Amino acid sequence: MKSEKKHLIYLAAGLLAAASLPFVITNVYYLHVINLAGIYCLVTVGLNLLSGYTGQVSMGHAGFFAIGTYVSALSALDLGVPWLPGTILAVLSASLCGFVIAVPAMKLAGSYLVLATVGFGEIVRLVLVNWTPVTKGAAGLVGIPLPNIFGIRITSEGEFFYLILVMLILGAGIARRLADSKIGRTFIAIREDELASRAMGVPVDRYKTAAFMISAAFAGAAGSIYGAFSGVTSPDNFTFDDSVAFLCMSVVGGSRTVGGAVVGTVALVSLTELLRAFQAYRLIVYGLILIITVIYMPQGLAGLMFKKHTREESEADS
């Protein structure tokens, strides 16, 4: 009980510190980077449910992210749909595409599944490039309307920060409840031993499909925010490099925890900004970080922090 109270205090303090960032950080560029990190966090939280909890590695999440962005943006530009209903459309569309890729993925595992998700991401990007009458091709979309939620128009970086923060808290809360529920425990059982799960009567294919759809829905929601936040978008924003970055964020932070998605995303986005002069070597740096993480920190940064916290608590109790 004492430990649980401590965790609640830490969580409240963290949320309070996060909510005060727009008042502390006056540089608009830094706040812009923080907002981007928050959007990527939402994608990574969903990816953790798929890769970390269910054991299905995806390297095509930029495709789901793109679907959410374009569905929300096109519904606003062409149909005049407000941002909130457009976000719901984006989530449903991405989730449906998650179902489409999950069906053939049921017969694949390991590197074959990874290749299938890579192919999906590339197919989405090529559709965006070549379906010119709808997506405007390589030129992309411009003038994506700003969100208007119940009469409140989101315009500044600070206002976007709070919108993204609310969406991230909501997404992380849903992911946490799923992870602690029967569904989450079933995901873990499938990850640990799929054959044993089938032998126990678990409908493995159904749960794998659900994991893909839920993870894609998170990416779709993040894409909807990203389009309205950027105001413009093009297929160049959703490449294989971005899928690799999402996976790196998941692994570095700790793919088997919801909090790991936040830790990993913040760490890699910060590192990317620090190494902006070496942008051409970004994937090399990511590769080195992945190797170091897998060898020395298999549970990621969040796992390392949790171990340290647990050790300090046990020393304090003794």
Average pLDDT over residues 211-227: 93
CA angle, 22 as apex, 254 and 164 as ends, to 5°? 50
Span 255-264, pLDDT tens digits:
778 888 888 8
CA nearest neighbour of 161 among 257, 38, 13:
38
Q: Where are the alpha helices (DSSP H) in 200-276?
A: 204-230, 240-253, 258-274
pLDDT for position 72: 94
Q: Which has more confidence, 116 or 287?
A: 116
What tens digit of pLDDT does each residue of 66-111 get?
Answer: 999 999 999 999 888 999 999 999 999 999 999 988 888 777 777 7
Say which amino acid occupies 138.
A
Q: Which two tokens stand for residue 68?
A: 């959410």
Residue 296 scores a pLDDT above 80: no
- Please tell me the predicted confidence (pLDDT) of residue 307: 53
44 or 255, which is more confident: 44
Q: What is the pLDDT of residue 305?
A: 61
Higher pLDDT, 317 or 40: 40
Query: How much is the average pLDDT of 29-39?
Result: 91
257 neighbors 300 (Cβ within 8 angstroms): yes
User: What does the pLDDT read at residue 314?
Assistant: 43
Q: What whole-number percentage of the chain has pLDDT above 70?
A: 92
pLDDT higher than threshold 80 for residue 280: no
Of the candidates 69, 64, 67, 75, which has an alpha carbon nearest to the alpha carbon of residue 224? 69
Largest Cα–Cα distance in the chain? 69
- pLDDT for the residue 6: 63
d(CA 41, CA 186): 24
* Residue 45: partners with Cβ closer than 8 Å, 6 or more residues away: 168, 171, 172, 175, 218, 258, 261, 262
Q: Supply the mean pLDDT for the chain.
A: 84
How much of the chain, in percent, has pLDDT values that exceed 90?
Answer: 30
The radius of gyration of the chain's CA atoms, rounded to the nearest angstrom, is 20
Summarize pLDDT for 174-205 with one digit per residue, the tens.
998 998 888 889 989 888 888 888 888 888 88
Q: What is the pLDDT of residue 3?
A: 53
pLDDT at 163: 92
Average pLDDT estimate for 40-55: 89
Whole-angstrom distance, CA of residue 58 vs CA of residue 247: 8
Residues 41 and 262: beta-carbon distance below 8 Å: yes
Distance CA 315, CA 18 (A): 30
Q: How confident is the model at residue 7 (pLDDT cuts 50, 70, 90)?
A: low
Question: Hey, is 301 helix, strand or coil?
Answer: helix
Quickly count: other Cβ atoms within 10 Å of residue 145's Cβ. Answer: 18
Contact 253, 265 (CB under 8 A): yes
Q: Kindly compute the dihedral angle of the four CA atoms of residues 249, 250, 253, 256, in this order, to the nearest 10 degrees.
A: 180
Whether this prediction's pTM lies above 0.75 is answered by: yes
pLDDT, residue 303, reads: 65
Q: Band of the pLDDT at 242, cuts 50, 70, 90?
A: confident
Contact status, residue 141 vs residue 135, Cβ threshold 8 Å: yes
Q: Which residues of 231-243 are buried (b: 16+ CB within 10 A; e: fewer)?
A: eebbbebbebebb
* CA distances, 304 to each of 66, 87, 284, 307 (Å): 32, 35, 24, 5
pLDDT in the model for residue 71: 95
Cβ atoms < 10 Å from Cβ of 211: 27
